[in-house]
Amino acid sequence: MRAVVYDAPRQFEVRTVPTPEPGVGEVRLAVEMAGMCGTDLHIHDGGFFSKYPLTPGHEIVGRVDSVGDAVDGLAVGQRVAADNTVLCGHCRSCRRDEPLFCRNFYSLGVNGPGAFAEYVIVHAEKCFPADDLNLSVAVMTEPTACAIHGMDVLDLRPGSDVLVFGAGPTGLVLAQLLVHGGAARVTVAAPTEFKLALARGYGVDTTVQIDRANPGASLAVLSDNAPDGYDAVVEATGAVAVGELCLPLTRDGGTVLIYGMADEEAVLPTRPYDVFRRELTVKGSFAQTHCFDRSLAVLRSGRVRTEGIVTHEFPLSDYHRAIETLRSDPSCMKAAIVP
């Protein structure tokens, strides 16, 4: 089969590799579509606990192509969305029911072979039927699952006034979950007007266009929008310059959720006295486990809409162009590989 293979950070090629065979409890999927996200840019540069050689691709939709022994409930030809996370179940964190901190966390497309390939091997219990969804919806299952985990972490109080920085795919999904999850008002701030237009179309109450090079220039506008501060501020960009705005815009006793992935070496300046005196809460949200069923439920119900999110599709042979488009093309909301 053909697959994208990284031998080291920034060093990849599309090459022919052996087609994998499913083992006991596993299935082989013929990949129909694999979404790309900002994490893939970090992996491209060698970040995010990636392990090489590596085939990336963690947002997986495919048709069941072959099943191993002891697999029930899945049929060859069936479309599934696949959860890329594999947990050991026996480390200290798993035994404490904290699976995201699994000491042996195995993630397809990060430290295990992923779906930027013609075929991928997945544990059968991680496959969720998705025959009723079209590809552009089904490929949003993993990002939506991550956003649902973010909502779990945020634990929003009903009637809250919420500001979301970022109108990328997961920022827009989070905003929709907030709209339908008890927020009194949701404001989205981002630099790109067509993304903000999508946010408004999805039901967001207020949008504010900020300057990508100088997001702080919008501090006054955002402050005027909520003179006493926002009950919750979600940072969904990974940009330190945006992160610096979060605490000043949060009301006394409010919450900041760090959802966007920054570089591992990035440092966010804070004033400990500010956190202490104003009793601010700062939380982080990393990936997801056990959220796919709820993700598919909100996608099927239409509570989370996805039209307009997948803007670019590329074959495997154009993976180099896909990475560059994802990194630098302002018209790209979300790119996907279609083997």
pLDDT in tens, 315-338: 999 999 999 999 999 999 999 999
Is the model's pLDDT at 5 over the cut of 90? Answer: yes
Four-point Cα dihedral 307, 304, 179, 172, nearest 10: -50
CA-based nearest residue to 32, from 130, 146, 125 = 130
Mean pLDDT of the chain: 96
Confidence at residue 181, expressed as pLDDT on a 0 to 100 scale: 94
Confidence at residue 213, expressed as pLDDT on a 0 to 100 scale: 86
Over the stretch 169-203, which tens digit does the pLDDT of each residue have?
Answer: 999 999 999 999 999 999 999 999 999 999 999 99
Over the stretch 29-61, which tens digit does the pLDDT of each residue have?
Answer: 999 999 999 999 999 999 888 899 999 999 999
Over the stretch 208-251, which tens digit does the pLDDT of each residue have?
Answer: 999 988 998 999 999 999 999 999 999 999 999 999 999 999 99
Model confidence band, residue 4 (pLDDT cutoffs 50, 70, 90): very high
Average pLDDT over residues 104-125: 96
Over the stretch 61-82, which tens digit does the pLDDT of each residue have?
Answer: 999 999 999 999 999 999 999 9
Count other C-beta atoms under 10 Å from residue 312's C-beta. 17
Confidence at residue 49, expressed as pLDDT on a 0 to 100 scale: 84
Domains of the chain: 2-139+310-337 (3.90.180.10), 149-284 (3.40.50.720)
Q: Running DSSP on this structure, what letter comes out for residue 338?
A: -
Confidence at residue 212, expressed as pLDDT on a 0 to 100 scale: 83
Q: Which residue has the tokens 């079209």?
A: 134
| Cα(47)–Cα(111) distance, integer angstroms | 11
Sequence-separated (6 or more) residues with CB below 8 Å from residue 181: 151, 156
Over the stretch 126-158, which tens digit does the pLDDT of each residue have?
Answer: 999 999 999 999 999 999 999 999 999 999 999
| Cα(172)–Cα(143) distance, integer angstroms | 10
Q: Is 44 exposed, middle or buried (0-12, 13-18, 19+ CB in 10 A)?
A: buried
pTM (whole model) above 0.85:
yes
DSSP string, 78-108: -EEEE--EE--S-SHHHHTT-GGG-TT-EEB
Confidence at residue 76, expressed as pLDDT on a 0 to 100 scale: 97
**At how many degrees (to 10) do helices 141-154 and 169-179 cross?**
50
